[in-house]
Structure 1
Amino acid sequence: MQLRALAIVLAVVACGCSTPPEQPAAPSRQAIPALQGSYHQVRRGETLWRIAHSYGIDVATLARVNQLPNTTELAVGQQLFIPLPKESGRFLWPLRGTTRSSTVPGGVDIAATPGSLVRASRSGRVAVAAKNVPGWGKTVLLDHGDGYLSVYAGLDQVLVPAGVPVRQGMPVGSLGTRPLHFEIRYHTSVRQTLALLPSE
């Protein structure tokens, strides 16, 4: 079932068709210097440290770019700008968690806390943002422009629409109760994904 589902996704890429997720109303955003990054909406119970840790940046940097005078006071719904690190040129882990063997040879399944953000392993373009791929559920596929593709399947939420460029480290989805299925492919052939990721 999963192999057939992936064939469907790759066929969508080949024909240039995709189904974007429903998009929420654009939030109002404060003026930010010309940095590469994305926005995070503060949820109930979140702290600045927790948000910074989830994106792999330090609290001082997050407070500085958002001009926060008090790092202990965050409002639910507040928009924080998350600066992205410089492009590394290699694939990075989309999610930190417990790795499991995948039913698809070469792929990897990653289990983590529900709600964890899944980030772009490399910069690229969103080729597919699908709501219901059989056997996979919500799936994002990134085209990296050099023949390589990365697949993020089993998402709880898709956070990017099809057709937009994304930078390495930008959130593309969030995790639910099932593990993330992650693959790196060269054209239609799956590669040994773990071999292309940095050692943990």
Structure 2
Amino acid sequence: MRRLIPLIEILFFSALGGCVSTPSTHQPQALLQPLPHTPTTEGIYHKVEKGQTLWGISKLYSIELDTLAKINHIRDVRDIEIGQLLFIPRYAKKDPNQKCLSEEFIWPLKGKVVSSFGQKNESVLNKGIDIHPTSTEICASRSGQVVFYAPNFRRFGMTIILDHKDGFFTVYSGLDEALVKLGDNVSRGTKIANMRHSSTAQNNSLLHFEIRKETVPLNPYFFLSD
């Protein structure tokens, strides 16, 4: 436990901000149709299907997430809709062996997002999202191992961090009861904690959730489908 503290101090300094069903397993379609904007290079078009995320699509075509977002002028990933066409540059090749949806992140909790990534709370930048729960069950957003647990981690309260073994980590903070222990391996969708539900979105009834690539906090909306 003690040797993990430096790692967590690097990974987790952020402002405080349900389990969903497994997305569709249909493979995406590539359509040769014009985009709303004129691309600057040759390529194909991908039609967004139910349950797909920008991150999953980027993995399918082996293209960097940021590159895919920039090419398609995506600033707010919540604007991605089923049926939307995304331009895939010619140099990005679809991997037929890539299981696009098997490694997708899922929402850890049913509830309403009350503070988004990049939003300032009391002059502190939010490096995740804060969710006011409508249920009490917290689930693993993706399969991984519990590499950190603290019943009262500084001002963040009870905290669990999962290592997904590919450079990604997820952080769950503001919990009331942990159902896992350090070193446990959990599958996506496994119940890992409980938290109380209140009718108002007070700080003591919010789940703070982060997705990080190594030490870099990323916007969870890139990874979570509606």
| TM-score, normalised by the number of residues in structure 1 | 0.55
SS of residue matched to 1:152: strand
- 2:128 corresponds to which residue? 107
Once the two structures are superposed, the pairs formed by residues 1-200 of structure 1 within 5 Å of their partners are 11-13=6-8, 88-102=102-116, 103=121, 104-113=125-134, 116-177=136-197, 178-198=205-225, 200=226
Deviations 1:30-86 (A, max 9, x none): xxxxxxxxxxxxxxxxxxxxxxx97869xxxxxxxxxxxxxxxxxxxxxxxxxxxxx
Tell me the CA shift for residue 13 of structure 1: 4.5
1:190 to 1:142, Cα distance in 2 relative to 1, 3 A: same
- Counterpart of 1:144, as a letter, is H
Deviations 1:110-136 (A, max 9, x none): 11146x100000000000111110111
| TM-score, normalised by the number of residues in structure 2 | 0.49
Tell me the CA shift for residue 106 of structure 1: 3.8
Task: Give the whole-Å Cα distance in 2 for the aligned partners of 1:111 and 1:167.
Answer: 24
Task: Give the whole-Å Cα distance in 1 for the aligned partners of 2:9 and 2:133.
Answer: 31
Deviations 1:131-190 (A, max 9, x none): 110111111000000010000000011110010100000011111251100000011110
**Conservation of the 8 A alpha-carbon contact between 2:20 and 2:107:** no
**Conservation of the 8 A alpha-carbon contact between 1:12 and 1:128:** no
Query: Which of the two has higher C-alpha Rg?
Result: 2
**Conservation of the 8 A alpha-carbon contact between 1:106 and 1:193:** no
**Conservation of the 8 A alpha-carbon contact between 1:154 and 1:181:** yes
Task: Give the whole-Å Cα distance in 1 for the aligned partners of 2:217 and 2:206.
Answer: 19
Q: Kindly report the root-mean-square deviation, in angstroms, between the aligned alpha carbons of the 2 structures.
A: 2.7
1:54 to 1:99, Cα distance in 2 relative to 1, 3 A: closer
**Conservation of the 8 A alpha-carbon contact between 1:153 and 1:181:** yes
Which blocks of at least 5 consecutive residues in structure 2 are unaligned? 11-17, 23-100, 198-204
Q: Percent identity between the aligned chains? A: 36
**Greater than 4 Å deviation, 4+ residue runs:** 12-15, 53-57
Tell me the CA shift for residue 100 of structure 1: 1.3
SS of residue matched to 1:145: coil
